[in-house]
Amino acid sequence: QVQLVESGGGTVQPGGSLRLSCVASGTFFRIYNMGWYRQAPGKSRELVARVHSDGSTNYEDSVQGRFTISGDNAKNTVHLQMNNLKPDDTAVYYCNAAVVEQEGVPGHFSAWGRGTQVTVSS
């Protein structure tokens, strides 16, 4: 089983920056991709950014050019650098990973962290 632990959330003023980190630990064979989702009050959970095993990335349109996702396969870690933060970025941010537990066993599952609060306010 895999556990994801997020860190780096907090409160910043508009235009400020935060760097989120997520570390995967436990027993697993491979993580195909890792990413960040967020959920604001009254809103559905949405993908913010994802990095795949081939190095390709995806970003939600509103964060393109402001957020950068990066991964360290050796440390099973993913980061999200968030610059020029806006009030609409306020949400709980969740780390996500697509995990295969054992080699040769088909299928994968989605692992989730507990979330870290990001608040952008004056």
Do 69 and 97 meet the contact criterion of CB atoms below 8 Å apart? no
Please give the full DSSP string across 53-100, using - where no structure is assigned.
TTS-EEE-GGGTTTEEEEEEGGGTEEEEEE-S--GGG-EEEEEEEEEE
Work out the average pLDDT over 69-79. 89
How buried is 81 (Cβ within 10 angstroms: 0-12 exposed, 13-18 middle, 19+ buried)? Answer: middle
Banded model confidence at residue 95, pLDDT cuts 50, 70, 90? very high
**Residue-wise pLDDT tens digits, 21-58:** 999 999 998 898 999 999 999 999 999 999 988 889 99
Q: Is 73's pLDDT higher than 80?
A: no
